[in-house]
Chain A
């Protein structure tokens, strides 16, 4: 057998106070699509940054096609045939596709006929792209193609992809995998980082699992179950939420013809949104980021007021009430952005309970704060939701993303709301915390609350929600039972108007 395309032996990298990678060894064969799995903080990013030359390892050896490989900077990595597509694109919106591609290449590789090359490569891999177009006018999926084409022009032997599908619609995901398979068939290796287990099971040849900076397992993902992969990542058995019965009670949240102009130049206008959520129901709202999710949550939480009758709680209009009055009626919300919106970063956890739970928990009497009540409630949230922190006096900023999210969700759920609206509750949260959050949401619904769950994670919505709708361009599709909807339908709805989605596919 030939030498592996990439081989890592005992690679170690330490930062002050934490060992990000501890004796990591694994190898990627030529023409293999290799998945790198792990929770947030498991050391995946550090590892690929070292492979791409952004950081240097403290110890250990890397080999590329049998030769020692120690890139000092990304240009070294590119010169050796290693390309990387980052999760966050590094493109200039005001420049054309061709100019952006040229900027990301090593100067020596930029030929005079670059635009012709772009057309040739993009056609060969089914990535239709016009080099003369300005990047600002491209969709997210098209922008990703620019990044990929930029890598392909340098004839990579190894392509690193960091969570490439988190921003794509299902159709775009299909196109991407088509391209990746063509590449693999030509002998290029792909190191694929994702937390979408189904995707990895369907497409990758092998998987290496990291936990706490160490390699804890390797497997053939097509033979593993998503559950066994998740358990390997987390290191414990997961109790996956079981879907609750579909006997819904009375309508608790009713939204009628809700329209809202945006106050943000890059925002989306809400147009004539109508839906209802019954007791026990979890309405999942899918959609590509920036299609009105933020505006919808602002309208529901009361941060932006709308016409009084547009939002009703148990048939009582609340549209023109502010957040405090809505909470008093039993309507709680948790926004997508944790630091700075759902919580004040430089305030303690107990102070952050005062933010949204002060009236329901009697923390204010005659304007004076009852510190005891606030601290007691914060303690209750911390223990009930297993928030890992040394105490309620710690600042919100000091918590990890998943722990802060558990704290915020717990703060709202323990107020026993009649209606809960939450956005992206498990974004950037590890699998164990995500499972705990999902369970809490389902228990709340089972106890008779109506829940509205906005998320970009389709797996999450499929697993948790009982009813399903898609928001696109500020309009909401008609909600339907989650069991009855297909991924193809969701893709068409996420793309906006059905005609446009058909034309693109």
Chain B
């Protein structure tokens, strides 16, 4: 048998090898000085590491978990339901569909007031194109800068 490698030696020392394999290693170690020394080193380190013990008493959380669980159970029995925010209760597909419909409707309304000759008269000024007024917005200097580039001539804006 070849020498035992470090990985196998770790498994052997930790006692996690299947019994048949462990027996095979035991026989090899008995007859091989090099592996016997490496085994001794590995076992010493394993035992030394075992000196670090941790005592979790005083930090138990099971009672807390049990209390939370009991509370949740009694809430369920009492028929109390969790309050879910309104928007979360609407499925995502419906939310997306609603957003698309709103966008199309908004675009349609803008187009209607921007192009249709049958648009009802609404008060406007040269500074405030009528589709802005028709949408119920107040004209502002910021809007002026936004719209200014799109205005071809004063005549088109104010026929």
Q: Do A and B come from one complex?
A: no
Chain A residues within 8 Å of B, Cβ to Cβ: none
Chain B residues within 8 Å of A, Cβ to Cβ: none
